Amino acid sequence: MPERFMVRALFRGLRSALSAVQLLSDLKSAEVKNLYVGPEEGGEMYEVLVELSASSEILEEFLRSVSSVDGFVDAVAESLVADILWEGLR
């Protein structure tokens, strides 16, 4: 059963971050909902933020692959158990 996860991975360079994004296409049964690649708040490293729907096994496979990318620093994955409803301003 797929779950929704938010993954944040940190890299030493943009090329490394983009290599991690490329690994997303290798995930057969995962659906990427949102993706952000850009400089970390401090500006010295690059972060990849991805919201995806996948099984925990697929998430572990992705994290294992990401951690082998040259320039990898750290990764955190959190389960998104609550659905967010936005109605807008009235």
Q: How far apart are CA 67 and CA 42, in angstroms?
A: 21
Closest CA to 27 of 70, 57, 67: 57
Q: What pLDDT digit, counting tens, does each position of 16-60 carry?
A: 999 999 998 888 888 999 999 999 988 789 999 999 999 999 999
**pTM confidence score:** 0.82
Q: How far apart are CA 46 and CA 82, in angstroms?
A: 28
74: Cα within 13 Å, side-chain hemisphere? 3
pLDDT at 49 (0 to 100): 95
